[in-house]
Amino acid sequence: MRARGFTLLEVLVALVIIGVALAASMRGAMSLTSTAEYSRDKLLALLTAENRLLELRLARERLEPGETILPCEQGGIAFTCAQAVKPTPNPFFRRVEVRVFRSDEAGNRQQLAELMTVLPTNQ
């Protein structure tokens, strides 16, 4: 009578195949997680830039040409906003650009959003 069951070699091969499949699925899951985090950061940076432009529009302060760098926060994430006010051919309007950056642990800045609009000088 012949014994039934799997040999040790067959079991080891099956474990290796399962291990490779699990490693590949974990890599895919980690990729999806990092992509979702990056998309969230981009969305929050875009909202930050829109909010900054709306603040300028509603403040009705005189817009002087120049660049300002200020901290801004959205959704519990600390961003850095770079606001540049530039003249236009029409002296009654200014071009306003807002760029939003996020710094990582190594101190590298990554630009996540950039918006531009034209606002009256509010003289």
Q: What is the pLDDT of residues 12-22, one digit of tens each?
A: 999 999 999 98
Q: Which residues pair with 119 in a beta bridge?
A: 94
The fold for domain 8-120 equals Pantoate--beta-alanine Ligase; Chain: A,domain 2 (3.30.1300)
- The predicted pLDDT at position 17 comes to 92
Q: Rounded to an integer, what distance in angstroms lies between the CA atom of residue 47 and that of residue 82? A: 14
Q: Which residues pair with 93 in a beta bridge?
A: 120
Domain layout of the chain by residue ranges: 8-120
Positions of the chain with pLDDT under 70? 1, 3, 105-106, 123
Q: Rounded to an integer, what distance in angstroms lies between the CA atom of residue 49 and that of residue 115? A: 6
Q: Rounded to an integer, what distance in angstroms lies between the CA atom of residue 98 and that of residue 109? A: 15
Q: Rounded to an integer, what distance in angstroms lies between the CA atom of residue 70 and that of residue 49? A: 12
